[in-house]
Structure 1
Amino acid sequence: MPVTTITENVTRSARHTNFYLSAGPEDGPLIIFVHGWPELSLSWRHQLPVMAGLGFHAVAPDMRGYGRSSIYERHEDYAQREVVADMIELLDALGHEKAIWVGHDWGSPTVWSIASHHPDRCHAVANLCVPYRTLELGLDACLPLIDRSLYPEDKFPVGQWEYIRFYEENFDKASAVFDANPYNTAKALFRKGKDGHRDKPALTSLVRHHGGWYGGAAEAPDIPRDGDVVSEADLKTYAAFLKRNGFFGPDSYYMNNKANAEYAAEALNDGYLDMPTLFLLAEYDYTCECIRSPLAEPMKKYCRNLTSRNIACGHWMAQEKPAEVNAALTQWLVTSVPEVWPG
């Protein structure tokens, strides 16, 4: 079997530089993978060669604030309006009218926003972990969807999203903990999910209570790497770019709830999505918890051509369970978007 080549590429405009990885035939149908916090285009290393091997032109950018794409110094530069504009510029630079978009973590609000604001630039959209009509609308939109039996309001005013409030209230302190040791931060974050914790508050709900991440510690703990999620070489790549660029940009994605809500209000079609959509639910993701809580209910109303699949994994789905993710994406593309299938 021939080895798929993944190339490094850059597009530049007057407003932004997009670095991206690319694999597969450039004349193939375009599929763009959008990463989240605090990752890189590297996060899609298991998806790019598979999609390329099927005949797609598979692309994964470093998002603004990350890797070799543009870095900005103001919180407002990381609002979804700006991030979506980056992706539309990338699409234009690649010479396509439309793409299949796939997002994860903060990449999911971006992909949902592309679908709701630029449906004419989408063949279809797929997202991992974060359902539609949640974070892209701003934090306040998530509050009615909190499981109050697990997160009583007097103890957890914003439920599992307490960590977002901590960013808003103590941004410098939150970022300093990650910046203190990016290698240990990445090593502590990229871990597989575990079953049996759905009836316990997520660790993210305790950040404000503890006065910071990791129980209020000054930096991430030094714990063994989870080889089921990340290799040592890949971990060092994440850490090197996080050390070079810092966490200000990645963390600033959490600082634009009001601006994102205003942008979401401009969605076309009253926010309804008519193109094929896929949602991959991580059963052991206890922050983006969609089994016990009603977090995914608005999506079921607003996505009129929705396919949902559950995968038994934690938050870092594309890295923890790549075979299952690739299989789900491929099956959905074959059955729901056949007109875009290569050849």
Structure 2
Amino acid sequence: MPLNSDFPAPQKIKLNGITLEVFEAGSHNRGNPIVLCHGWPELAYSWRAQIPALVAAGYHVLAPNQRGFGASSRPADVTDYDITRLTGDLAALLEHFGYEAATFVGHDWGANVVWSMALLHPERVVRLINLALPYQTRTPTPWIEFIEALFGADHYFVHFNRQFGVADAILDQNADQFLRNLFRKNLTMVPPEPGMMMINLARAETPLGDPLISAEDLEVFVSAFKASGFRPGINWYRNMDRNWHILAEIDPVIRHPALMIYGLQDPIPPSENLSEFVPNVAIRSLDCGHWIQQERPEETTQVMLEWLKAQDHAG
């Protein structure tokens, strides 16, 4: 249960063969849905600062804990977390609430799901906003193979896939320390190489950088991941090569109106060719790191609302 009393109460909704924990707000704004998709290792609670403002702006907000997170279903099979199922959950969520299409917003892995939603279910997407993770163009070889060739076997994407269960267990054993170290401003790695960064964060006893969120908000994440474990979320990474094959024959160009928000201090670099694959994209940047909507909540909300308002006027 979130400690923020303003956060919506959860609903358990059966759809697409699983149960999703969904946080709904602004049901009186029927007909104007917006779906908020969190990243890893996060929760729908990551959008706590944006939800009230979106409701006030006239949106019916749906913020699920996606499969594998919070109190949502955690299937055992790795392939149950591929992009077909992740986007299928969102399509089924719209159907449950009686919507044909919605505005989708994603951060980190949630952004990847939203980009893929526009590819696999384009009729379900009115427009989209993504934070931190730009559209990932197709690589010559499957994504994990490509990353391994580029960065080596110690890169955490590769480690998650090649060393099954190792990182899962370490993060589970050190959930408090890992999340406390992860949600930091000016985050630095110990040691500095990016390869084993997640395991390094779980083992680092000295806080790395300034706290990003309050102790009370951090406890929401810690409690949730102590209950669910980290394996279901890591299984999203274990489907990256599978997703590469799933998307092989899909038109890679996203033609929906889109907003991309970058953090200037985020180690994930901006895309150099985003407009080639998302021709109707607007780009904004904020002076922050990777956890954009939590580190700069007011600025993020303002950028989102200004763009949405401009889209409404343009339409």
Q: TM-score, normalization: structure 1?
A: 0.81
Q: How much has 1:201 moved relative to structure 2?
A: 12
The one-character-per-residue Cα deviations of 1:54-73 (angstroms, maximum 9, x if unpaired) are: 11111210011110111111
3-state SS, counterpart of residue 21 of structure 2: strand
- 1:149-228 superposed matches below 5 A: 157-158=150-151, 162-193=155-186, 203=192, 205-207=194-196, 213-214=199-200, 219-224=202-207
Matched, 1:131 2:117: no
Paired with 2:171 and 2:150, the residues of 1 have a C-alpha distance of 25
Q: 1:104–1:159: structure 2 CA closer, same or farther, 3 Å change rule?
A: farther
Matched, 1:333 2:277: no
Name the structure 1 match of 2:262. Answer: 281
User: Does structure 2 conserve the Cα–Cα contact (< 8 Å) formed by 1:187 and 1:226?
Assistant: no
Q: How much has 1:141 moved relative to structure 2?
A: 9.1
Amino acid at match of 1:30: P
Which of 73, 76, 80 does residue 73 from structure 1 map onto? 76
Matched, 1:55 2:58: yes
- 1:8-157 superposed matches below 5 A: 8-13=10-15, 15-24=17-26, 25-134=28-137, 139=143, 157=150
Q: 1:298–1:203: structure 2 CA closer, same or farther, 3 Å change rule?
A: farther
3-state SS, counterpart of residue 86 of structure 1: helix
Paired with 2:145 and 2:135, the residues of 1 have a C-alpha distance of 11
Q: Where does the alignment leave 5 or more consecutive residues of structure 1 unmatched?
A: 144-152, 291-295
Paired with 2:60 and 2:131, the residues of 1 have a C-alpha distance of 20
Which of 231, 252, 255 does residue 271 from structure 1 map onto? 252
Q: How much has 1:138 moved relative to structure 2?
A: 5.3
Name the structure 1 match of 2:298. Answer: 323
Matched, 1:257 2:240: yes
Amino acid at match of 1:78: Y
Name the structure 2 match of 1:150. Answer: none
3-state SS, counterpart of residue 174 of structure 1: helix
Q: Where does the alignment leave 5 or more consecutive residues of structure 2 unmatched?
A: none
State the Cα RMSD in Å: 2.9
Amino acid at match of 1:99: A
Q: How much has 1:5 moved relative to structure 2?
A: 6.5
The one-character-per-residue Cα deviations of 1:233-291 (angstroms, maximum 9, x if unpaired) are: 22111111111111110111111122101222243xx22111100100111111x122x
Q: TM-score, normalization: structure 2?
A: 0.88
